[in-house]
Amino acid sequence: MDRVQYNSCVADGLRGKKMDSETRKMEFCIVSKLCSGKAANRDAAQVICSQPKAPKPAKEGKKRRSKKQECPEFDTTTLIPRCEAQLMKMVKGGELPGDSDVSGICQLILG
């Protein structure tokens, strides 16, 4: 039985019946067992559907980081060597005068 036939079989089995939620779940289970051929008659399907379901194994998903964590303080002194290297390039290129205090400028910028 293909999916379309199965769906129409189950729909025909449930159509026109007024039931509460639990009764509808049981009726759906019984009709689906009959339509799929897992049960030969309604009594066998009801026995299958009344058995308790096996518990699902626990999933091991990705762990999410807490959004409440704050970023650690950033130490700007770690950028001083890069700043000095960039300013030395500017001195060599002629963009800054040769007597510029490169480390002093970096200290002033980065604090």
- Tens-level pLDDT at each residue, the chain (111 residues): 788 998 999 898 888 878 898 899 999 999 999 999 999 999 999 999 999 888 888 888 777 777 777 777 878 778 888 988 998 998 898 888 888 888 888 888 877
In the chain, the amino acid numbered 41 is N
Which of 35, 46, 27, 37 shows the shortest CA–CA distance to 9? 35
Contact yes or no for 79/109 (Cβ under 8 A): no
Residue 45, pLDDT score: 92
Residue 28, pLDDT score: 92
Q: What is the pTM of this model?
A: 0.49
